[in-house]
């Protein structure tokens, strides 16, 4: 994205100790003093916790940064709390960059999402994950669609044949430029028409809307 790393929301809430106090229902804060209001909008999130890149605001909920710090359960709880309370404006879309796994389903982080966008790489493990994502999304009553990634002529037919074609909204071609920009930690500037296909699909799906990308 080319965005700076913003202040991490969990740190702004006082770290693990502060988060426990603020999310503990036995010690409720008044609505006026609550860090995470209910309901909340983007304006309720501290400005230092939002980085901007061409009109896209980046929020980092939490990170594991120290040996022995503990599990990511608290980060998942913050994510779920923010997403359950956040109310988008009519022209806003919330895009959740979930890790490539299923833990967020188990923690119901995606419960308020309207759509699951599953990015599928040309690997056996990625297809297995995609099958599980579709199954869990259906259980949650959420529609799941696929974006094929790193596609070239050698794998296109195999990838397309493994998935429901009606759920495939785009196929991003394998790009040396994107690969090298990602490898070097640079902003991804390649302008591929497939990106516009994904944006149009999201734009016409439903507004306001929240998405999880896996």
Q: Mind listing the pLDDT tens digit of every residue in the chain (214 residues)? A: 888 889 999 888 888 777 777 777 655 555 544 677 888 888 889 899 999 988 889 999 888 777 766 677 788 788 888 888 888 888 888 888 887 677 777 667 777 788 889 999 999 999 999 998 898 888 888 889 999 999 998 898 898 888 888 899 999 999 999 889 989 988 888 788 898 899 889 888 865 556 666 5
Q: Which residues are registered as beta bridge partners of 32?
A: none
- 35 shares its domain with 63: yes
- 60 shares its domain with 124: no
CA distances for 29 relative to 33, 146, 171, angstroms? 6, 41, 47
> Which of residues 41, 61, 87 is at a domain's end?
87
pLDDT for 62? 83
- Domain containing 140 — which CATH number? 3.40.50.300
Q: Which residues are registered as beta bridge partners of 59?
A: 50
- 98 shares its domain with 73: no
> Which of residues 64, 87, 110 is at a domain's end?
87
- What is the full DSSP assignment across 134-170? HHHHHHHT-EEEEEEEEE-TTTHHHHHHHS-GGGEEE
pLDDT for 123? 93
Q: What total number of domains does the chain contain?
A: 2
Residue 121 DSSP one-character state: -
- 34 shares its domain with 105: no
φ/ψ of 22, rounded to 5, equals -75, -30
- Domain of residue 212: give its range: 93-214
- 80 shares its domain with 100: no
> Which of residues 63, 87, 111 is at a domain's end?
87
- 121 shares its domain with 151: yes
Structure tokens at 6: 């913003």
Structure tokens at 201: 């699909």
Residues in the chain, how many?
Answer: 214
CA 128 to CA 134: how far, in whole Å?
Answer: 10
**Sign of the Cα pseudo-torsion (48, 53, 57, 58, in order):** negative
Which helix (H) or strand (E) element contains residue 20? helix 15-23
């Amino acid at each position: 994205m080319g965005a700076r790393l913003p202040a991490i929301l969990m740190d702004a809430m006082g770290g693990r100790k502060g988060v426990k106090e603020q999310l503990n229902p036995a010690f409720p804060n008044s609505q006026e003093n609550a860090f995470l209001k209910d309901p909340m909008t983007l304006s309720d999130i501290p400005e230092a916790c939002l980085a901007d890149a061409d009109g896209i605001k980046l929020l980092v909920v939490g990170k594991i940064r120290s040996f022995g710090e503990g599990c990511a359960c608290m980060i998942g709880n913050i994510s779920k709390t923010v997403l359950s309370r956040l109310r988008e404006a009519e022209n806003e879309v919330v895009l959740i960059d979930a890790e490539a796994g299923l833990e967020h389903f188990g923690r119901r982080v995606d419960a308020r999402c309207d759509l699951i966008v599953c990015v599928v790489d040309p690997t056996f493990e990625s297809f297995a994950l995609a099958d599980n994502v579709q199954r869990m999304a259906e259980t949650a009553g959420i529609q799941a669609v696929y974006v094929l990634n790193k596609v070239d002529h050698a794998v296109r037919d195999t990838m397309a044949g493994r998935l429901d074609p009606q759920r495939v909204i785009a196929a991003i071609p394998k790009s040396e430029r994107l690969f090298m920009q990602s490898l070097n930690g640079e902003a991804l500037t390649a302008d591929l028409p497939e990106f516009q296909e994904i944006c149009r699909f999201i734009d016409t799906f439903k507004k306001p809307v929240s998405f999880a990308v896996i």
